Amino acid sequence: MKDHLCEDTIAAISTPLSKGAIGIVRISGKEALSILKKIFRTKSRKQKESFENRKMTYGIIADKNGEEIDEVLAVYMKGPKTFTGEDIVEIHSHGGIYVVRKILRTVLSCGARLAEPGEFTKRAFINGRIDLVQAEGINEIIDAESELSLKVAVNHLKGTLSSKIESIRDKLFHLKAFIEAAVDFPEEEIEIIKTGKVKEEIEKTAREIEKLLETYEDGRIIREGIKIAIAGRPNVGKSSLLNALLKEERAIVTDIPGTTRDIIEETITLKGIPIRLIDTAGIRESKDTVEKIGIEKTKEKLKEADIILFVIDGSAGFTEKDREIYNYLKNNPNLILIINKKDQGIKAQCKDYKATCIEVSAKTGENIEKLSETIMKKLLLEPETLFKEAETIITSERHKNLLEKTLKNLQNIKASIDSEIESPEFLALDLDEALDALGEIVGKKSIEDMLDIIFSTFCIGK
Ligand SMILES: Nc1nc2c(ncn2[C@@H]2O[C@H](COP(=O)(O)OP(=O)(O)OP(=O)(O)O)[C@@H](O)[C@H]2O)c(=O)[nH]1
Ligand SMILES: [Mg+2]
């Protein structure tokens, strides 16, 4: 697999295609150094015969016709102790889109092939520099939009999850040896299985996997963010509350009821945890077609929300209209009653309601910080615990499916032992499947097809 996948030399722009201080063209493969030599000139316009390993060299890149493109810093990193495990060259030029593209074109004209998305990381995996979970971790780092998701991703890259999976695999390998002994020495078979050791180990491992699977719910929070919808009748200050939580004037606020008609969605992080804040149209009977559609959309959004902030205008008290909306919303277990406009003097007070409640002023910002804490409490989210757990959180659906498959096989083994029907051959079969599934997580199975699927989600140059 290794040779035929990594024969040629690949190149790509590794920095974003926009104007910036520097742009980097990266080359990986056997020809990396010889390509650099062809296009690099020293300050005195001479070709450079040798490049010191891992040392930045100042010079000029010129195309095949000798036309100079840009002043650059170039570095040659000798394999196999590089990211891809191959020789790597990086050319750091000025960060104009045209310049960087022209350098890439020159590199390609000298024999490199344009890399596919994720191909550098794919090579790192194929050459054994990282396992599959770590490779996916790189993508997660690039995608991370909150402190927590970054921490989880870094842990994936560091291999914390991989070592956990490997340690489970190790235990199962030992068990397999044990069971195979039972197959080879049938007269002792019942003895070995009946000692209870196999069953005990299987149960222990199954519990470990269950625990990992339980972290997937937290993983969902990291991937998708917690959905918080702000609801209430028109003009109570929903958009003002969104702005206060965002700390910017994102949504239009006016004293005209029915200002917000389309859903507004923004992401913030509270205590490092990603939150998707959704401002909705004020709910009321309306003849206006646009507003009516907005209200229908609002009702849809409210069904999906993890938390609903139900806003009332405290200065007007808890009105009949508020009660109607409250009756509609109250089935959501995570409802927080927000008594807004505290600065104007409020008629409704939290102490009169059973629901989780907080009195705020979206206008002055009073108690907005306290609201963030109330949200965390309501979700039973303790940022400290989440950050600690981040060591081995499952965020990927691929990992989750494979762990579930492993668990199912272990449960089959347990059931077989309990019913005393199956012979050790069957146990070994289930165990093999469990090992395969675990192996697939870290990439220790023949998975050439799967590689393309995974790495194609990467950006080019990674
Ligand atoms: N005094 C005071 N006024 C507020 C407060 N919050 C909002 N307002 C005012 O209330 C009016 C309505 O605010 P919005 O935020 O647009 O209300 P909304 O609930 O989004 O209204 P719709 O989009 O029409 O449903 C505006 O004039 C705001 O300035 C507050 O805490 N105190
Ligand atoms: Mg609004």
The domains found in the chain, sorted by start residue, are 2-131 (3.30.1360.120), 132-443 (3.40.50.300)
pLDDT above 50: residue 2: no
Cβ proximity of 38 and 9 under 8 Å:
no
* Verdict on whether the full-model pTM lies above 0.85: no
Convert the pLDDT of each residue in 56-93 to its tens digit: 999 999 998 889 999 999 999 999 999 999 999 999 99
Beta strands 88-95 and 273-279 are unpaired
Quick one: pLDDT at residue 105? 94
The residue among 164, 145, 141 whose CA lies nearest residue 153 is 141
Ligand nearest to the CA of 237: 1
The residue among 439, 418, 391 whose CA lies nearest residue 152 is 391
Mutate to test the pocket of ligand 1, among 253, 291, 325, 343 (most ligand atoms within 8 A of CB): 253
Interval between CA 220 and ligand 2 midpoint (Å): 28
Quick one: pLDDT at residue 449? 47
Interval between CA 271 and ligand 2 midpoint (Å): 26
pLDDT above 80: residue 193: no
The residue among 34, 40, 44, 30 whose CA lies nearest residue 92 is 40
Convert the pLDDT of each residue in 5-33 to its tens digit: 567 999 999 998 788 899 999 999 999 99
Report the C-alpha gap between 138 and 407 in whole angstroms: 27
Surrounding residues of ion ligand 2, Cβ less than 5 A: 238-239, 259-260
Identify which has the larger pLDDT, 372 or 332: 372
Residue with tokens 């990467």: 458
Report the C-alpha gap between 284 and 233 in whole angstroms: 6
Closest atom, ligand 1, to C-alpha of 258: 24
Within 6 Å (CB) of ligand 1, which residues are found? 234-240, 253-255, 257-260, 281-282, 340-341, 343-344, 361-363
What is the pLDDT of the chain when averaged over all its residues? 86
Report the C-alpha gap between 7 and 305 in whole angstroms: 50
Interval between CA 252 and ligand 2 midpoint (Å): 7
**H or E element, residue 219:** helix 197-224
Convert the pLDDT of each residue in 118-130 to its tens digit: 889 889 988 888 8
